[in-house]
Structure 1
Amino acid sequence: MKKALVPILLLAAPLSALFAHDPATDMATAAKLFIKSLDDKAKQAALLPLSGKGRETWTFLPDKYIKPEVKRKGLVVKKMTPQQRILAHGLLSSALSHRGYLEATTIMTLEQILFDITGDAIRDPELYYVSIYGTPSKAGTWGWRFEGHHISLHFTMVNGRIFSVTPSFFGSNPAEVKEGPFKGLKVLADEENKARKLARSLSPPQRELGILSEKAPADILTKWDSVIKRGTFFPPKGLPITKMNSRQKGWLAEVVEAYVAKHRPEVLAQVTSKNPLIDPKETYFAWAGSRSPGQGHYYRIQTPKFLFEYDCTQNGANHVHAVWRDFEGDFGRDLLGQHLAESHKLEKGWESLFDGKTLKGWKANENDDSFSVRDGCIVANAPGRCHLFYETKKPFKNFEFKAEVMTLPHANAGIYFHTKYQDEGWPKAGFECQVNNTYHDPKKTASIYGVKDTLEAPANDDEWFEVYIKVDGKKVVTKVNGKTIVEWTQPDDRKAGGSFERILGQGTFALQGHDPGSTVLFRNLRVKRLP
């Protein structure tokens, strides 16, 4: 039952070099390549609805021990063609760091080692499944999973940003290989050794808080629950970070790093942009069982947001389960639910410019495929310069305008006002409210381009922010998230320019698709006419 893992892994590794540095784009690219390799039968197994209940059903057990009603979904490696196996590993490597990918593939290799030791056919390095939920796109909302014995990895993207990588489960049986050519192999050594160092460093008063029991539980307490039972973990138990010395805080950070460093740094930057991995006031470390190597032990680290849980008690304390969970946001549940259910009620006097489903009422000029609608957003990603004009019978003169905007890294776009449709070129009529947080142009978001510019970005990439534009007579105001960025009053003697008029009058709105490297999302576009 020898499996040809090595050639697959060697062939898969170079795929990651083909991808860009944005991890959500990399994952979408890898998923699309994988899907292209599938025939109809394979697609039926691998492609699943994003909103299906089964997306939150997961486990780390071998197939043999899974109940029929929760049988794993997806396309199993065992039934993949050689090409599909390579592309499946390309998808896996698009999300994980080099370290994480090495650990994942080594855990799969342990299945072969276990088979060689036990002869049990349930130990099979080809019983791993790929599931794709929704339609992969670099600016879309979708997810995917890679799962089998002792590996369960889940990724959720919303509007092209990675919002969740949990549950993230890695297990190892044996924790340390005791015999054969792989003797001494210990895949998850850091999770054990670094935590034990911290546990052994506790003073007697600290142990009163940090050591929950001299006996470890039989497994991680969360097991494969879709939703964590908060009552098990709150109020928190253990040693609070506020009672640790500086060295212990450093060791605590090293333990957390052992879990999260399995993912690409760019992935972690997106997932943790609003929630720290270690809360400076509300992080707790709890240990149970022996602090001696080779004896059963358990620990957990928890913050108000995240949980890191570890257990090594089975098979003579030589069998590890380690998981990273999000109390509220596993499977992207919190943000995805908010996204899918989100509806914006218009305030009195405001009218919507976008129905959230189609580009009805809008007209593109130079490249029709530069703008698309995905998951309630207008996505600007131009193969070349393009502008999307709002069609209106009654021009806008004095108004308030609002839109929610998200820029991907190094993206450039704009929102034109008092403009009019033209077949090609940069709009001559009206003004551009710049959208640019990290693109190399020094004129940043909310600048009135070329008229009054701001050189400091008032918003961040990968986050939604609100752009506000107000024109009242000869005065223009721009704001970002309620903060005034530019105030400009048109001089009485101002005259229209040659190439760009930049003179207040009346007109419509337009969105800019600037260049192939720029992806910008717009949603909830609305306007209120003023007297």
Structure 2
Amino acid sequence: MKKIFPFLFCLLLNSKVSGHDPASEMATAAENFLASLEGAKKKKAFFPFNHKDRENWHFFPGSFISPNGRMGLTIKEMDSVQRNLAQTLLSTALSHRGQIEASTVILLEQILYEKEEREMRNPDLYHYAVFGSPNKAGTWGWRFEGHHLSLNFSLVNGRIFSVTPSFFGASPAKVNEGKHKGLRVLGEEETKAFKFLKSLSPPQKKMAILSSNPPREIFSGQDNTVQASNFLPAQGLPITKMNPRQKGWLSEVVKVYAAKHRPQSIKQIVQKKPLLHPTKTFFAWAGGLTPKTGHYYRIQTPDFLFEYANTQNNVNHVHAVWRDFKGDFGRDLLADHYRKDHSKGKDWVSMFDGETLKGWKPNEDEDSFSVINGCIVANAPGRCHLFYQAEKPFQNFEFKAEVMTLPYSNAGVYFHTRFQDEGWPKAGFECQVNNTYHDPKKTASIYGVADCLEAPANDDEWFNLYIKVIGKRVITKVNEKIIVDWTQPADWKKGGNFERILGEGTFALQGHDPDSTVLFRNLFVKRLP
């Protein structure tokens, strides 16, 4: 059996942690890594930042991931120079401790590879994927992932804004035979949690222990979106029922998860939200009360989830994850960045707060529109429209938004329209949103007036949609490219059932049909004289 040690050796060799800014070091390391790749290798490693699968992460072996396996370029496909550059990138993200634990997880795969002789255990099947162009002042991200490891980093304006989801797993968690007998990984997540559990009084344990039967797996699983609103309710022992010493021991548990990352990165994160909320933190336990019996715990705050399970393979198979309810993959800070960035221009007004539909009014079915991860999601069981509620109508204006269509979806942005209880809006014009739906009128068409028959954008990718009305002239753009430039003729008639004539009005987003799902975010408008 082939022994694959070079990458593990390199991982430990490069485990020196610098005191410099990790974000700048990441950008430089990622640039150097990508520069070493050409052709098919670079295509496997480099993706647009807004790629539809950037947030699809996994901790299973690659052969279990359908339909196309794991994203990224594997260590196996790299030459020695590329391996060194890839490892340098990883060393910019993890602390010394984090690098040791990551290398040990990979070593466990090596042990199983030698024992089982199955390619799925090959320790060189760990993947690097870079999303967006690395830049010391830019917005981009990257991932290192393979069996039992998924490390995700998102940077905005050259700062590290997210290190979650951060997943470490181990099987076996402790090696019981062979030359590596006694080797253990992810031990402190367990020992510190048991130390805390042991400190609890009987009444406290009654609150903390939800069940004597542990779940087989962490509840958050591999979901790319875990939010406080749709996850399990905060249960167990509240931090307000803990004494100061117990609060300190609980803090030690969560610090084990955070300590795998560079301290400079964690400092940026906790400046905005503490790892433990002072009044709204809960500790929940399920399973046995000794390390030899299956056990599970989670520590849950309004912002974070720390989740651990050791129930499989005779209590020798650990899954441990750190999630950010609002900020996995930097979602919350990206949304804030986009709002601020788009509103820098003079007189631009945000139309959407990223969290609620405040300022908008649906007509036929209020469930046709929802807010998910900073986006307005249009998915109507039937025809429905969401009207913008402004103090006065818009006449001359500029409008811009980011839009994503799922395959075969249809929607639209109406302008110079007005609220009506039902039906297709009679007043105003529709700027079409459709890239692959069967209607031949494609995105940025002024529907039925000036039609574009070739889609200017792709499904599953964010694109910028722009509309400008000045006098009798309408301009639409997609990603800064003009799609329609139409001037209403002097003898234009507004029509019968539909009043298609420029004048004034508001905006409306269209929910077209139950098979269409379209996302809108960062909606802005600017009134023009």
Give the TM-score category using the shorter length. 0.5 to 0.7
1:281 aligns with 2:276: no
1:333 aligns with 2:344: no
What percent of counterpart residues are identical?
Answer: 55
1:146 aligns with 2:144: yes
TM superposition score normalised by structure 2 = 0.63
TM superposition score normalised by structure 1 = 0.63
Describe the superposition over 1:447-500 as per-residue Cα deviations: whole angstroms up to 9, x where unpaired.
Answer: xxxxxxxxxxxxxxxxxxxxxxxxxxxxxxxxxxxxxxxxxxxxxxxxxxxxxx
Tell me the SS of whatever aligns to 2:108.
helix
Question: Amino acid of the residue matched to residue 283 of structure 1?
Answer: T
Describe the superposition over 1:8-33 as per-residue Cα deviations: whole angstroms up to 9, x where unpaired.
Answer: 34445565769670010010111011
1:320 aligns with 2:318: yes
Question: Amino acid of the residue matched to residue 136 of structure 1?
Answer: P
Matching residue within 218, 222, 230 for 2:228:
230
For residues 222 and 347 of structure 2, what CA distance do their matches in structure 1 show? 47
Equivalent position of 1:52 in the other structure? 51
The total of aligned residue pairs comes to: 348
CA contact (8 A) 1:139 1:161 kept: yes
1:24 aligns with 2:23: yes
Q: Summarize the Cα distance change of 1:345–1:288 in structure 2 as closer, same or farther, 3 Å threshold.
A: same
For residues 171 and 320 of structure 2, what CA distance do their matches in structure 1 show? 12
Equivalent position of 2:487 in the other structure? none
Q: Summarize the Cα distance change of 1:12–1:208 in structure 2 as closer, same or farther, 3 Å threshold.
A: closer
Tell me the SS of whatever aligns to 1:132.
strand
Q: Summarize the Cα distance change of 1:181–1:42 in structure 2 as closer, same or farther, 3 Å threshold.
A: same
For residues 45 and 302 of structure 1, what CA distance do their matches in structure 2 show? 36
For residues 186 and 17 of structure 2, what CA distance do their matches in structure 1 show? 29
Unaligned ranges ≥5, structure 1 = 351-531
Tell me the SS of whatever aligns to 1:34.
helix
CA contact (8 A) 1:20 1:26 kept: no
CA contact (8 A) 1:13 1:93 kept: no
Equivalent position of 1:249 in the other structure? 247
User: Equivalent residues in 2 for 1:125-140 (5 A)?
Assistant: 125-140=123-138
CA contact (8 A) 1:16 1:94 kept: no
Q: Summarize the Cα distance change of 1:300–1:40 in structure 2 as closer, same or farther, 3 Å threshold.
A: same
Q: Summarize the Cα distance change of 1:241–1:182 in structure 2 as closer, same or farther, 3 Å threshold.
A: same
Q: CA RMSD in A?
A: 2.1
Aligned-pair CA distance for 1:337: 2.8
Aligned-pair CA distance for 1:296: 0.6
Tell me the SS of whatever aligns to 1:95.
coil
Describe the superposition over 1:57-85 as per-residue Cα deviations: whole angstroms up to 9, x where unpaired.
Answer: 0110011211215x211101111111111
Question: Amino acid of the residue matched to residue 121 of structure 1?
Answer: E
For residues 135 and 18 of structure 2, what CA distance do their matches in structure 1 show? 14
For residues 38 and 225 of structure 1, what CA distance do their matches in structure 2 show? 31
Equivalent position of 1:157 in the other structure? 155
For residues 55 and 145 of structure 1, what CA distance do their matches in structure 2 show? 9
CA contact (8 A) 1:313 1:319 kept: yes
User: Equivalent residues in 2 for 1:503-518 (5 A)?
Assistant: none
Aligned-pair CA distance for 1:345: 6.6
User: Equivalent residues in 2 for 1:473-512 (5 A)?
Assistant: none
Tell me the SS of whatever aligns to 1:315.
coil
Tell me the SS of whatever aligns to 1:278.
coil
Q: Summarize the Cα distance change of 1:325–1:18 in structure 2 as closer, same or farther, 3 Å threshold.
A: closer
Question: Amino acid of the residue matched to residue 204 of structure 1?
Answer: P
Unaligned ranges ≥5, structure 2 = 350-529
Q: Summarize the Cα distance change of 1:195–1:30 in structure 2 as closer, same or farther, 3 Å threshold.
A: same
For residues 235 and 11 of structure 1, what CA distance do their matches in structure 2 show? 43
For residues 338 and 97 of structure 2, what CA distance do their matches in structure 1 show? 34
Q: Summarize the Cα distance change of 1:298–1:13 in structure 2 as closer, same or farther, 3 Å threshold.
A: closer
Range that drifts further, 207-216 or 197-206: 197-206
Describe the superposition over 1:348-390 as per-residue Cα deviations: whole angstroms up to 9, x where unpaired.
Answer: 699xxxxxxxxxxxxxxxxxxxxxxxxxxxxxxxxxxxxxxxx
Aligned-pair CA distance for 1:246: 1.8
For residues 94 and 313 of structure 2, what CA distance do their matches in structure 1 show? 29
Equivalent position of 2:429 in the other structure? none
Equivalent position of 1:2 in the other structure? 2
CA contact (8 A) 2:98 2:261 kept: yes
User: Equivalent residues in 2 for 1:361-440 (5 A)?
Assistant: none
Equivalent position of 1:43 in the other structure? 42
Matching residue within 201, 204, 207 for 2:202:
204
